[in-house]
Amino acid sequence: MPSLKDIKRRIKSVKNTQQITKAMKMVAAAKLKRAQDEIVAARPYAEKMLGLIATLASKTSPDSHPLLASTGGNRVAVLLYTSDRGLCGGFNTQLLRITERFLREHGDSEISLYLIGKRGTEYFKRRGIKTLKARPIGSGRPGYSSAVEIANDVISAYLKGELDEVHIIYSQFKSALTQTPVSQKLLPISTPRTEETKEEADQGEFLFEPTEGAVLSSLLPKYVEVQAFRALLETSASEHGARMTAMDSASKNAAEMIGALTLKYNRLRQAAITKELMEIIGGAEALKG
């Protein structure tokens, strides 16, 4: 049975841990607010860009630009976004699980990984899967320049014929309690035609100025950049939300543990006091006799 001193030391240790988890929760909450504002502001632009590309793609031939044309090969790259740090619940585990499932489903393809975030890099380091590039996601606010570098890397490899498909896996931010892993094909660009894009496409013929090739050469790389940037923002907001939730849960668990240990400490202390009193009374009775 642990002594009173051991229990007291453990209570102090749990309280110190609770102070850390509370501080991390507050920091994550502050970062989440900023990250949430950024992703809410970026989504309309990304969705409108998707709609524009869908409309243009419906009016052009897949052979009009290399980023629209499918090569039919089996060299597939996966662009995986994870966090650099842990202590965010099952955030990274969900992303790694969906990536593993993707690898199993495409077992007959030649898979290579483009890893963004140290957690993904550490996980796949010893699994024998070809890695195109690995880079940290960064602790600061996601920058558009990082998305441009990522997009340029995958576009360059695709245009050189080194890749036949590029898929992107990231965590879509829903709320502080909900983050949903998303897997979608990035290259070749193939966008679903919604009712809105069908109406826009049916309104009339498009006139491309200066040329169809020049317009697509300008818009399609920009589309890849925007999707890479959106994935950065979504992942950043999801990470902060998951960490805030995890630290809140850890703080509550610490409070429950402190309560249980304090109750145990008081019971043992009361038992020790009662024992001492009984010994004193017994000694006094013995002296009387």
Q: Which tokens in the block code for residue 116? A: 């963004």
The reply to whether 88 belongs to the active site is: yes
Question: Could you tell me which of 48, 45, 68, 70 has the C-alpha nearest to residue 57?
Answer: 68
Active-site residue identified among 11, 28, 35, 88: 88
Tracing tokens 């050469």 back to the chain, one arrives at 217
Tracing tokens 């453990």 back to the chain, one arrives at 10
DSSP calls for 98-119:
HHHHHHHHTTTSEEEEEEESHH
- The CA–CA distances, whole Å, from 158 to 7, 186, 247 equal 61, 11, 41
Q: What is the distance of C-alpha 193 from the center of its chain?
A: 28
Measured CA to CA, the distance from residue 43 to residue 187 in angstroms comes to 20
Alpha helices, H only, 73-204: 91-105, 118-124, 144-159, 195-201
Query: The dihedral of CA 247, 253, 259, 264: what is its sign?
Result: negative
Tracing tokens 């996980």 back to the chain, one arrives at 123
The set of catalytic residues is: 88
